Structure 1
Amino acid sequence: MVSLRQSFNNWRQYRNTCNELYRLSDRELNDLGIARGDIPFVARRGN
């Protein structure tokens, strides 16, 4: 069972990852092979 603290930490890491990726330019995202619309999926997969 995941604790409330762990759930919050997972959510916070997800949001930080999303924010960092959204700050990248389209060219930088393309270099990484990520479409802007895929950022939430990529961020969630990372957790």
Structure 2
Amino acid sequence: YSGISVGLCNTHYAYFPIPEVILHPRLVDPNSRMWHRCLTSTGQPDFI
């Protein structure tokens, strides 16, 4: 298997073609609460 990624879709695991996955990248706001929670939970430093 190459050129695919595995992910959850409606509580089921599914195969996704990588070109489709990267077609619309998501952006993360580095000042958002979600991002700071991610940094805190993983123990990463906040360099911003």
Q: Same fold (TM over 0.5)?
A: no
Greater Cα radius of gyration, structure 1 or 2 = 2
Q: TM-score by structure 2 length?
A: 0.28
Higher helix share: 1
